[in-house]
Amino acid sequence: MNASLLTLMIFLPAAGAVALLAVKNRDAALRMALGFTIGTFLLSLLALALFDRARGGAFADAANVQLSARANWIGAFNVEYYVGIDGLSLPLVVLSTFVCVLACIASWKIEKMTRGYLALFLLLETGILGVFVSLDLFLFYVFFEVALLPMYFLIGIWGGPRREYAAIKFFLYTL
């Protein structure tokens, strides 16, 4: 369970985004998204409880990484699916999942294309968590890009009065 905890925590919001496709009712979609964000937050609290502070240093070296999962991904380029938590990433993960719960609650006023908004929001949470726990540089890059794509659409569609301008600026700065 410990080795797969981070993988479950990363991809639970993505599973929620896919599950939202089957929901037609706006209120049911909001409750489902909130349930997936709360579930992810509870998994991060479980990771906090399982984390051994005695050996959890602030930097990701082999001795400090805990709850890790490792699998060969692209063997020809020595790219691995390698995730883990250390003393620096753990508070960031817990804080991110908590803020995502609050942001989901704040999203209940969204009226325009609610299911699309929530699906992109959950994909954004997947990207954020993946960035914080990835220990392979290529995997970090993939999760970073996964976080940028929904963020662009969230800004461009549901943003403020100058949302198109802000989305273009966001794209240019992250290019």
* 94: phi then psi, degrees, rounded to nearest 5: -65, -45
The pLDDT of residue 167 is above 60: yes
Q: Judge contact between 2 and 68, C-beta under 8 A.
A: no
**How does residue 169 score in pLDDT terms, banded at 50, 70 and 90?**
very high
Higher-pLDDT residue of 166 and 60 is 166
Residue 72 in 3-state DSSP?
strand
Distance CA 17, CA 107 (A): 15
Q: What is the pLDDT of residue 62?
A: 61
Query: In this structure, is the dihedral angle defined by the CA atoms of residues 100, 157, 119 and 20, taken in order, positive or negative?
Result: positive
Which pLDDT band, with edges at 50, 70 and 90, does 3 fall under? low
Q: Which pTM was predicted?
A: 0.91
pLDDT digits (tens, 9 = 90+) for 78-109: 899 999 998 889 999 999 999 999 999 999 99
pLDDT in the model for residue 117: 96
Output the CA–CA distances (angstroms, integers) from residue 148 to 67, 79, 90, 155, in the order listed. 26, 21, 22, 11
Distance CA 31, CA 19 (A): 12
- For residue 126, how many other CB atoms are within 10 A of its CB? 23
Check pLDDT > 80 for residue 120. yes
Top pLDDT among 56 and 161 is at 161
pLDDT tens by residue, 32-79: 999 999 999 999 999 999 998 877 665 656 667 889 999 999 989 989
What pLDDT shows up at residue 63?
A: 64
The DSSP bridge partners found for residue 69 are 83
Tell me the HSE value of 173 on the side-chain side, using a 13 A CA sphere: 9
**Nearest CA-CA partner of 128 in 27, 37, 5:** 37
Read off the tokens for 109.
């006023």
pLDDT over 70, % of the chain: 94
pLDDT value of residue 64:
79
Please tell me the predicted confidence (pLDDT) of residue 123.
Answer: 97
